[in-house]
Structure 1
Amino acid sequence: MEKTLDHIGVAVRHLDDSIEFYTKVLGAELIDRYRSEKVGVESEIAVMNVNGTTTELLSPTNNTTSPIARFIKQKGKGVHHIAYRVNHLDQAIEELNKQGIRVMEETRRINKHGRRLIYLNPADTGGTIIEYCDYPNLRGENDAKEN
């Protein structure tokens, strides 16, 4: 199955400072800013576009339960995950299972933009946090255009 880079997630301590750096130094455009208090997310997210490349800035909203807070505590701020877009998330998960790569089922969700996502188990990826995602609404539009 084809995979393309969708975005890079960056763990930050101070979202406003990071947005300022991305906009002023990198020339990024702030696409969206939202908060998710869902268990296992508990983050404020700023979606930045730098010349067609998406970076998600992730700041914890709960310093005891947020996975971003745990990440910063263990590894410090910086690149948290790399997300790859796949055509069909469920089929991609089936392929991973056949290859013996585990996914973290508790991370499966749909974000506010309709992106379906799941994280691969870092124990099976050499320690890198990798997200697989798809956009079923866009896929439906693209499928209709092909017919």
Structure 2
Amino acid sequence: MEFKMELTLQHAGIYCRDIDESIAFYEDVLGCKLLFRSDAMEGDKPLKMAWMKGMGTALELLECEDKTTCNKACECLNHLALRVANMDEFVAFLGEKGIAIEAGPFDPPLEFDRPLGSDNDDLFTVYGDAGTQLRIMFFRGPGGERFEVLQDNIKPL
């Protein structure tokens, strides 16, 4: 018996070293809105939580008393990808905020230069006849979280 389920993103949990600094970053730089804060426990250790709304989803910021948890999380999360309409404007905006660019912007080599088959055209449908156009760059948030920023001509999901 085959069971199919549709999964959607409910939220992303992001460890941070200083929750107040991260809340300010997510509000000021990424345009998120603080929904609420709470204190909890992670096992027997205090855990600060902040729920943010933005970028089409909910983000759960987590500050652990034990910072080794945050350090371990930075080893496994590669990046969160954000889409922008104008890369140059966003890079200038980050510069105004004093945020360093880790890599890019650059045009990565692409393995696809046309729309995928009809069974996957909801994922990478290209707008226009020029094929896929993509610029990317990377920067870090205050907790070490890595962001990829894309400017593309690919249909949003």
What TM-score do the two structures reach when normalised by structure 2?
A: 0.41
Greater percentage in helix = 1
Greater percentage in strand = 1
Which protein is bigger by CA-based radius of gyration? 2
What TM-score do the two structures reach when normalised by structure 1?
A: 0.43
